[in-house]
Amino acid sequence: MLRFIKHNLTSMLNVEIYPLISLIIFTLFFAVMLWYVIKMSKSRVTEMSAMPLDLEESTNINPTYHEN
């Protein structure tokens, strides 16, 4: 299986660009997400941190009750 993949990759022109492209995409995505989190307002962070608790209270789910 590896021989089949290796043979196909060596026969492609400019195949060495693909790892570089994937590294650039990953780095850009990570940088954009880091910038978004740093620029996020404290009120939004507080609102998002309370979301799981608000969901539980608003739907009146009792996690200890199990219906048979």
Q: Which of 43, 63, 2, 34 is nearest to 10 (CA)?
A: 2
Reading the block at residue 56, the tokens are 């539980």
Beta carbons of 26 and 20 less than 8 angstroms apart: no
Token digits for 55? 């969901």
pTM above 0.85, yes or no: no
Q: How far apart are CA 9 and CA 3, in angstroms?
A: 10
Cα atoms in the Cβ-side hemisphere of radius 13 Å centred on 59 = 9
**Predicted pLDDT at 63:** 57
- Residue by residue, pLDDT tens for the chain (68 residues) are 667 777 777 777 787 888 899 999 999 999 999 999 999 999 998 888 888 776 555 555 555 655 55
